[in-house]
Chain A
Amino acid sequence: MMTTIKPSIAIVDDDESVREATTGLLRSLGYIAKGFASADEFLKSNRLRITTCLIADMHMPGTSGLALFGQLRAARNPIPTILITAYPDEDIRARALSAGVSNYLVKPFSEKELLDSIATATRH
Chain B
Amino acid sequence: MTFRPHLPSVKPNSLLPLAAIALTAAIFVADTITDLEIAVPVFYTAVILLSVRFCSRRGLVLVGLGCIALTVLSDFLTVESSASNAGIINTIISILAIIATTALVLKIESAERTVYDARAQLAHVARVTALGELTASIAHEVNQPIAATVINGNASLRWLSADPPNLDEARLAIERIVKDANRAAEIVGRVRKLAKRAPAQKVLCDINSIILEITTLTAAELRKHHIALETDLRAGLEPVFADPVQLQQVMLNLVLNAVEAMQDTAEESRSLYIGSAKDGSGGLLVTVRDSGAGLEPAAVARMFDAFYTTKSGGMGLGLTITRSIIEAHGGRIWAESSNSRGAVFRFTLPHAAGGVTSPETSILTGKA
Contacts and interface: CB of A to CB of B under 8 A. Distances in A.
7 contacts: A17-B147, A17-B148, A25-B155, A28-B155, A28-B173, A60-B223, A86-B140
Interface of B: 136, 140, 143-152, 154-155, 158-159, 162, 166, 169, 172-173, 176, 179-180, 183, 223-224, 226, 228
Contacts of A25: 151-152, 154-155, 158
Contacts of B180: 17, 21
A108 B143 contact: yes
B169 A61 contact: no
A108 B154 contact: no
B158 A28 contact: yes
A18 B147 contact: yes
Given A25-B151, A28-B158, A108 B172 contact: no
Given A17-B176, A24-B169, A61-B223, A107 B158 contact: no
B144 A86 contact: yes
A14 B226 CA distance: 13
A111 B226 contact: no
Contact of A24 (B145, B173, B224): B173
A17 B223 contact: no
Interface residues of A, number: 23
A24 B143 CA distance: 19
* Smallest CB-CB A-B distances: 4 pairs: A108-B147, A28-B158, A17-B148, A21-B151
B268 to A, nearest CB: 9
A109 B139 CA distance: 16
B134 to A, nearest CB: 14
Nearest to B226: A61
Given A107-B143, A108-B143, A108-B146, A24 B172 contact: yes
Given A86-B143, A108-B146, A108-B150, A21 B228 contact: no
Contact of A107 (B136, B147, B159, B173): B147
A111 B143 contact: no
Contacts of A46: none
A59 B227 CA distance: 12
Nearest to B268: A62
Contact of B151 (A22, A60, A87): A22
Contacts of B154: 25, 28, 111
A91 B172 CA distance: 38
A25 B154 CA distance: 7
Contact of A29 (B146, B150, B158, B183): B158
Contacts of B147: 17-18, 21, 86, 107-109
Q: Which residue of B150, B151, B158, B228 has the most chain A CB atoms within 10 A of its CB atom? A: B151
